[in-house]
Structure 1
Amino acid sequence: MAAIKAWDRQQLLLAFSLYVRLPFGRLHARNPDIIQYAEFMGRTPSSLAMKLTNIASLDPVITATGRVGLTGASHADRAMWLEMNTDWLAFSEQMNAAVSVLTGPLSAESVDVREQQPSNYQGMSKETITQVRLGQSYFRAAVLSAYNNRCCISGLALPKLLIASHIVPWSQDIHNRLNPSNGLALSALHDKAFDLGLLTIDEHYRVVVSSKINHSNDQFFDSSINSFHGKSIFLPDKFSPRAEFLAMHRETIFEKGL
């Protein structure tokens, strides 16, 4: 019997890059992305798909649902999961470097980041700015894939109109800027309302619209924002929003009523 080929670090980085970018329901051997990456890596699509489900077994959001059969994570998988969650910026740079070996280097100008860029790069070197922008691309991919590319409030499913919205703003938490558990998939409209504190998410994952807003005779506001008050958001398949981040948004950003 042929020996099982061990996964090296570059291959694991490629697998994690796919895990971050793909919705949970697409972690199967028929996925064209998995087929392409498996060919590059000299592995079978089934082998790569199994590795992705092994990585998924490390995500508490997935295991909390009771899904079974995801028990093959290795020591290296666990170490890399910890590494990823400890420093998303550095890890996203390493994932990009691994991918660039296959597809060519990704430039900061080509990064798919539709969110507003941080307004202040002061004190950052050009190299650091590039790393941050690449990291933002992974943040967007991770957040949108976790919510299956739909707004968690409205259900809008047009990626061009979706934002990977920070729960705790970029400027207020350096260590969690690129942590997808600090993100929500929101339509551009709901992202703006969330950013301004016009709405928030309570401890039971329900939408709360500020009572301080004067929206009398505004039918559009009533239908597009106020109608969601009290309704539960769509929860993600992975990278669930952390309770402490949502609590911070409620306490420091949300416009509380009198």
Structure 2
Amino acid sequence: MARNWTRDDLILAMSLYCRLPFGKFHQRNSDVIQLAERIQRTPSSVAMKLSNLASLDPHHQERGVKGLSGASKSDRNIWQEFHSDWEGLAVESMRLESKFQLRPAEPSLEQSPQFTGETESTRITKVRLAQQFFRSTVLASYDFRCCVTKIDLKELLIASHIVPWSEDPAKRADPHNGLCLNALHDKAFDRGLITLDEDYRLVYSRQLRESFTVEAMNRIFKPYENQQIQIPLRFRPDQKCLEKHRNKVFIA
């Protein structure tokens, strides 16, 4: 008889769903095989679970992608847990991945004493884990390409927060609050020189447009003005977050 999926198993599966580019949930994928080995399941079982999770994604439902349509109550519960507390589940999933040796262990998690309250070191560790989850999830959602220029050199890609990290704790690890941008466009977005409208098209500030007199700026930015970004295959940018960016960060 097949063993029931535990909560830890489901968290690891959901984390892998977030980190894998869409279309790579098959049983031959090395990450799927590794997770299957760690939780003592078959690669086909893990691949099926990822497809079931995909069936819960509203974006895929809109596109007519229904996965296997066999999502269980526990699948729905873990999906809701992540979406209700991205930062908390991001940290928990990263700790489990370290425990199951799915990623290098965090030194501070190896031999840490039991604290009754949160210390500065544990807080920093949680921030780092949430940031790692956010980056890997956002980049995978955009298939490791800048959503503006399509640059695909990973070393130049940034998981950009739409609503800044410091302003909304609930959005810190939420991939709906992320864009995959190259380093230069990330800086321009962060400084309010560019934003996105309701149709995900690039809007430039007057200051940025005035810089087009410089040849390099003209080549790098002008071709993309008013163009729609590459829409991610998962975790589409949240319109409320974009509205906050337009109203509070963007310099018209």
Tell me the CA shift for residue 47 of structure 1.
Answer: 0.8
1:26-41 aligned within 5 A: 26-41=24-39
Residues 200 and 249 of structure 1 are in contact (CA less than 8 Å); yes or no, is this contact kept in structure 2? Answer: yes
Q: How does 1:101-250 map to 2 (within 5 A)?
A: 101-103=99-101, 106-107=105-106, 125-213=120-208, 214-250=210-246
CA contact (8 A) 2:202 2:229 kept: yes
Residue 236 (structure 1) shift: 0.5
CA offset at residue 222 of structure 1? 1.1
Q: Which residue type is aligned with residue 98 of structure 1?
A: L
Shift of 1:68: 2.9
Query: How far apart are the structure 1 equivalents of 2:31 and 2:151?
Result: 24
Equivalent residues of 1:162, 1:187 under 8 A apart: yes
Offset at residue 19 of structure 1 (A)? 0.9
Measure how far apart 1:124 and its partner are.
6.7
Q: Distance in 1 between matches of 2:211 and 2:199?
A: 26
Quick check: 1:108–1:133 contact (8 Å CA) kept in 2?
no
User: 2:62 & 2:142 partners in 1: Cα distance?
Assistant: 16
How many equivalent pairs are there? 242
Change (3 A) 1:11 1:255: same
Q: Deviations over 1:146-178 (max 9, x none)?
A: 000000000000111000000011111121111
Which residue among 40, 49, 52 is the counterpart of 1:51?
49
Alignment partners' CA distance in 1, 2:107 and 2:214: 41
CA, structure 1 residues 49+216, in 2 after alignment: closer, same or farther (shift >3 Å)?
closer
- Normalization by structure 1: what TM-score? 0.89
Query: More displaced, 184-193 or 81-90?
Result: 81-90
- Deviations, residues 50-96 of structure 1 (Å, cap 9, x unaligned): 10111111211221111134311111111111111111221112112
Q: 1:9 to 1:237 in 2, by over 3 A?
A: same
1:105 is displaced (CA, Å) by 6.4
Structure 1 unmatched runs, 5+: 110-122
Shift in alpha-carbon separation, 1:108–1:132, aligned structure 2, 3 A? farther
Q: 1:24 to 1:108 in 2, by over 3 A?
A: farther
Identity, % of aligned pairs?
Answer: 45
Unaligned 5+ residue runs, structure 2? 109-117
Shift of 1:108: 7.1
Comparing 9-18 and 233-242, the one that deviates more: 9-18
Query: Partners in 1 of 2:247 and 2:97 — Cα distance?
Result: 40
Give the Cα separation in 2 of the matches to 1:202 and 1:178.
23
**Matched position secondary structure for 1:26:** coil
